[in-house]
């Protein structure tokens, strides 16, 4: 018998609702989008079958749809279309509205009956009625009024309960309308089957309104051998219209692109300016803006790729076989590795979150833990008491794991206490980065008041001099030795050649690129080295500081007048630091800024 596909005499139609007839097997979450893998198990009949899967996400990217399948069938075609359905008023809500109307009419009748009785009593004359009938009349009024009051209270309570139920039903109806608005796509899949049986369809498609970002917990233990633990987390939120319940989640660090082409580069041409023909008296030089306009360049390029369909073959396979019998390919497809981390050594990696997770489609942030890392870290303490009399902890952390770290916010905990928030930059495996761990309150800084002494010299050309002394005290109240403590201060810089500033204590030689404030200007050569540190006390050395300049730039050392003291403090010990400088200028000028 020929295997050729014959035109069927009828089409067996199968209508499925996505969330009711299938489950999400896997979610690959990118930055700004997600790839969903959803499987359906269906019964098919001999001949042509048309499977319609409704309530797929409205944010589904039509071009990204792929279909795979297992079983004795061949897929003839796949289409994705919009199918927005209206949500009718639920019967329960209509019934409640009817009961509310009946109850409101009953309340109106009860209120009208009470008003009629009181109006009738208002027409009676007590003198003409006689005392023998007045008592019985009042008793009858009390009896009827009590019955009406009780009935009215009961009806009002029923109305309140009905209004609450109606409000809840309206909220559910609105939520269902909103949900239907989020699931307004339908996939139609035509398949041909030679014999009755079961088959499995797997839909793989991309959706927008899904995102994740990296967040961290940095936990530092100052007394332990492994001082730093980094908890790598993912903050996930999605509003796709589909609830991800007990799914396998893969976090992707890059977003796939559709057919990105290499940009072009136009030729860069240079010409000679030729002025227009004018009389000699009117010839003018070209303006700078006109010349700049002649030299301008531009670049352009790009391209958009598309999807392609590869027809399937008629095979009979199980899920364990090597190849699906149909696949609709697009540029969005990505290889999902079973390893926890792929592409080691770069920021393009895939993280497989352990276990299964649930992320509802509510637009709220849901945090999951990716991994806990024990990282190598070198701790340093830095204090700038002139600005803030506190010591900050700075850690140089080496990413010794196979996980690339993405840019994200980190909560910092020191010895179990939350101290601050910081930012983790993008860090590849084996790279290092600096991280602030907040203030260490157990190291105390005292910035003593500044001491000043004035003097004058010279007979004809009088000059005045002022000596300034600054003292700093550092107290280590910890029970451990602090081996890398840096205290930074600075001396003023002169902006006038008549004002000279000389560093007295510590007695450091002039820096490589001394300004006019500290001697004559020098030209720094590449072979020149930074001056050696000067020992100024037990376990204390002083040196010029490079400030915010690069560490290998010798010309930056001391350029801003900054001085750094490197200290090693034993437990419960103190260190005293002294800074002194002299400012000299002619006696007849006034110095500002001191």
Average pLDDT over residues 336-346: 41
Name the least confident of 16-25, 161-170, 220-229, 295-304: 295-304
pTM of this prediction exceeds 0.85: no
At residue 519, the pLDDT reads 42
Question: How do residues 192-229 score in pLDDT, each as one tens digit?
Answer: 888 888 888 999 999 999 999 999 999 988 776 667 89
At residue 194, the pLDDT reads 84
- The first and second tokens of residue 477, run together, are 């109240």
| Proportion of the chain above pLDDT 90, given as a percent | 31
Q: Cα–Cα distance between 486 and 566 in angstroms, integer?
A: 5
105 versus 311: the higher-pLDDT residue is 105
Name the least confident of 119-128, 144-153, 508-517: 508-517
At residue 172, the pLDDT reads 84
Which of 112-126, 328-342, 417-431 holds the top average pLDDT? 417-431
Question: How do residues 289-308 score in pLDDT, each as one tens digit?
Answer: 544 554 444 333 333 233 33
Average pLDDT over residues 532-546: 89
Q: Cα–Cα distance between 304 and 306 in angstroms, integer?
A: 7
Average pLDDT over residues 320-336: 34
131 versus 344: the higher-pLDDT residue is 131
CA 269 to chain centre: 44
At residue 443, the pLDDT reads 93
Pair 549, 556: CB distance under 8 Å: yes
Neighbouring CB atoms inside 10 A of 336's CB total: 15
Would the pLDDT of 530 be above 80? no
38 versus 176: the higher-pLDDT residue is 38
Residue 336: partners with Cβ closer than 8 Å, 6 or more residues away: 26, 28, 250, 350
Question: How do residues 222-273 score in pLDDT, each as one tens digit?
Answer: 776 667 899 999 999 999 989 999 999 999 887 666 556 777 888 888 888 8
Pair 175, 41: CB distance under 8 Å: no
pLDDT tier at 133, thresholds 50, 70, 90: low
At residue 258, the pLDDT reads 54
* Size of the chain, expressed as the number of residues it contains: 594
- The first and second tokens of residue 395, run together, are 């850690």
Which of 180-194, 309-323, 471-485, 488-502 holds the top average pLDDT? 471-485
Mean pLDDT of the chain: 79
At residue 257, the pLDDT reads 60
Would the pLDDT of 385 be above 90? yes
- Edge-first strand order for the sheet with 47-56 is 11-17, 47-56, 185-193, 73-82
Q: Cα–Cα distance between 384 and 563 in angstroms, integer?
A: 11
Helix H or strand E segment including 92: helix 91-123
| Proportion of the chain above pLDDT 70, given as a percent | 76
Domains and CATH numbers, the chain: 1-85+184-208+257-265+300-331 (2.60.120), 92-180 (1.10.287), 210-254+337-378+396-432 (no CATH), 448-586 (no CATH)
To the nearest 10°, the Cα dihedral for 170, 174, 177, 178?
-170
User: 3-class DSSP state for residue 46?
Assistant: coil
**Residue 565: how many CA atoms within 13 Å on its side-chain side?**
28
- The first and second tokens of residue 150, run together, are 């009780």
Q: Cα–Cα distance between 407 and 421 in angstroms, integer?
A: 13
pLDDT tier at 329, thresholds 50, 70, 90: very low
pLDDT tier at 335, thresholds 50, 70, 90: very low
At residue 522, the pLDDT reads 40
Pair 551, 561: CB distance under 8 Å: no
pLDDT tier at 139, thresholds 50, 70, 90: confident
């Amino acid at each position: 018998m020929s295997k050729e596909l014959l035109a069927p005499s009828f089409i067996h139609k199968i209508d499925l609702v996505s969330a009711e007839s299938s489950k999400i097997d896997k979610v690959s979450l990118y930055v700004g989008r997600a790839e969903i893998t959803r499987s359906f198990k269906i019964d098919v009949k001999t001949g042509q079958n048309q499977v319609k899967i409704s309530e797929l996400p409205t944010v589904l990217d039509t071009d990204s749809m792929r279909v795979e399948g297992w079983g004795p069938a061949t897929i003839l075609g796949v289409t994705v279309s919009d199918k927005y359905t209206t949500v009718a008023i639920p019967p329960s809500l209509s019934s409640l509205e009817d009961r509310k109307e009946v109850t409101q009419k009953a309340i109106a009748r009860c209120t009208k009956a009470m008003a009629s009785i009181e109006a009738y009593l208002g027409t009676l004359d007590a003198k003409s009625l006689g005392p023998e009938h007045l008592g019985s009349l009042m008793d009858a009024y009390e009896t009827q009024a009590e019955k009406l009051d009780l009935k009215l209270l009961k009806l009002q309570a029923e109305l309140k309960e009905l209004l609450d139920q109606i409000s809840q039903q309206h909220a559910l109806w609105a939520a269902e309308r909103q949900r239907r608005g989020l699931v307004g796509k339908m996939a139609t899949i035509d398949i041909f089957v030679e014999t009755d049986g079961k088959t499995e369809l797997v839909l793989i498609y991309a959706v927008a309104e899904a995102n994740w970002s990296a967040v961290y917990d940095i936990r530092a233990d100052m007394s332990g051998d492994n001082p730093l633990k980094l908890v790598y987390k993912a903050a996930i939120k999605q509003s796709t219209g589909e609830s991800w319940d007990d799914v396998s989640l893969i976090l992707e660090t890059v977003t796939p692109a559709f057919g990105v082409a290499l940009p072009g580069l136009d030729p860069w041409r240079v010409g000679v300016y030729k002025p227009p023909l004018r009389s000699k008296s009117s010839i003018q030089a070209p303006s700078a803006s006109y010349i700049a306009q002649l030299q301008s360049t531009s670049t352009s390029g790009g391209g958009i790729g598309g999807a392609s369909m590869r027809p399937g073959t008629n095979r009979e396979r199980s899920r364990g076989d090597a190849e699906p019998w149909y696949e609709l390919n697009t540029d969005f497809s990505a290889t999902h590795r079973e390893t926890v981390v792929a592409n080691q050594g770069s920021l393009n990696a895939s993280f497989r979150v352990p276990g299964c997770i649930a992320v509802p489609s509510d637009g709220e942030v849901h945090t999951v833990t990716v991994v806990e890392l024990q990282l190598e870290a070198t701790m340093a303490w830095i204090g700038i008491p002139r600005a803030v009399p506190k010591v900050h902890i700075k850690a140089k952390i080496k990413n010794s794991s196979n996980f690339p770290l993405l840019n994200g916010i980190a909560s910092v905990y020191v010895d179990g206490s939350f101290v601050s928030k910081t930012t983790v930059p993008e860090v590849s495996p084996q790279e290092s980065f600096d991280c602030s761990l907040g203030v260490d309150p157990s190291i105390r800084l005292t910035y003593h008041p500044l001491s000043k002494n004035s003097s004058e010299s010279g007979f004809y050309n009088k000059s005045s001099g002022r000596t300034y002394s600054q003292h700093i005290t550092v107290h280590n109240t910890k029970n451990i030795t602090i081996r890398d403590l840096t205290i930074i201060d600075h001396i003023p810089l002169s902006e006038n050649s008549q004002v000279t500033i000389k560093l007295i204590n510590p007695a450091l030689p002039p820096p490589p690129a001394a300004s006019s404030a500290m001697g004559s200007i020098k030209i720094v050569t590449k072979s020149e080295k930074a001056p050696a540190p000067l020992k100024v006390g037990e376990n204390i050395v002083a040196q010029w500081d490079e400030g915010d300049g690069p560490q290998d730039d010798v010309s930056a050392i001391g350029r801003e007048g900054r001085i750094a003291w490197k200290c090693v403090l034993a437990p419960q010990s103190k260190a005293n630091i002294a800074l002194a400088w002299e400012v000299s200028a002619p006696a007849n000028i006034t110095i500002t800024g001191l």
